[in-house]
Amino acid sequence: MKSKIIVAAVAVVVLAGLGGYLTIISLSPQPQPATQPRTPTTATPTPTTTPTATIVTTPTSRGLVVLTLYLNDYGYNASVGGPTIRAYVGDVIRLRLVGNGSGPIVHDFVLDEKSPSPYSVKSERLRRGQEQVIEFTAQFAGVYKYYCSVAPFAGPSHRDRGQEGTIEILQR
C-alpha cells in the first residue's frame, strides 16, 4: 500500500513538472510576421564605392530585380560585407531577407540617409529563421551603401564590423 502511494506521488510530480514546462514553452515569444516597407523619400545622394562581392542582377522584361539576402553575423550571403546589387532606374527591387545570425543576434537591411542615399528603406530586425520581403522602386541613379543598423550598447556596430554592401542604380 505504501509503495502505491509513493508511485502515485511521483507520477503527480512528474506530470506537474511536464505541465509547467509545456506552459513555459507556449508562453515563449514567437517570431512576428514582417511589416510592409516604408515609402521612399528624397534626399541628396552621395555616391560611394568598394564592393566586396558582386551579384549581377538582371531585370526581367517587367523591370523586376529579385534577390535573396541571408543576414549573417556581420555580413550578407556568407561574405564579409555583402553582394553588389545592380538595377536600373524604374526597376522594382524585391529583396527576400532571411535571418541567419547565430544565437540571439538580430540583423536588418537599411538603405537610408545614413547610407548615404535618397531612399528610406528599412526592414524589421530579423532573428535566425525569420524572413521578410521588402520591395521598393529604384528612382534615383547612383551608387549607395546598404547596411545593418544594429549597434550594441558597447563595442562597434554591425556596420562598423563590415556588414554593408553596395547597390548601384543605373540610368537606362
Task: List the CATH number of the domain containing 145.
Answer: 2.60.40.420
- Does residue 116 have a cis peptide bond before it, meaning omega lies within 30 degrees of 0? yes
Residue 22 lies in a domain: no
C-alpha cell at 40: 521612399
Measured from the Cβ of residue 61, the count of other Cβ atoms closer than 10 Å reads 5
pLDDT of amino acid 126: 96
Measured from the Cβ of residue 137, the count of other Cβ atoms closer than 10 Å reads 15
Residue 8 lies in a domain: no
Instruction: Count the alpha carbons within 13 Å of 85 in the hemisphere toward its beta carbon.
Output: 28
Rounded Cα distance, 65 and 92, in Å: 6
Domain of 156 in residue numbering reads as: 53-170
Give per-residue pLDDT as tens, 17-36: 444 433 333 333 444 444 44
The answer to whether 116 and 140 are in contact (CB under 8 A) is no
Q: How many domains does the chain have?
A: 1
Measured from the Cβ of residue 43, the count of other Cβ atoms closer than 10 Å reads 15
Residue 2 lies in a domain: no
Give per-residue pLDDT as tens, 98-115: 999 888 889 999 999 999
- The model's pTM is 0.64
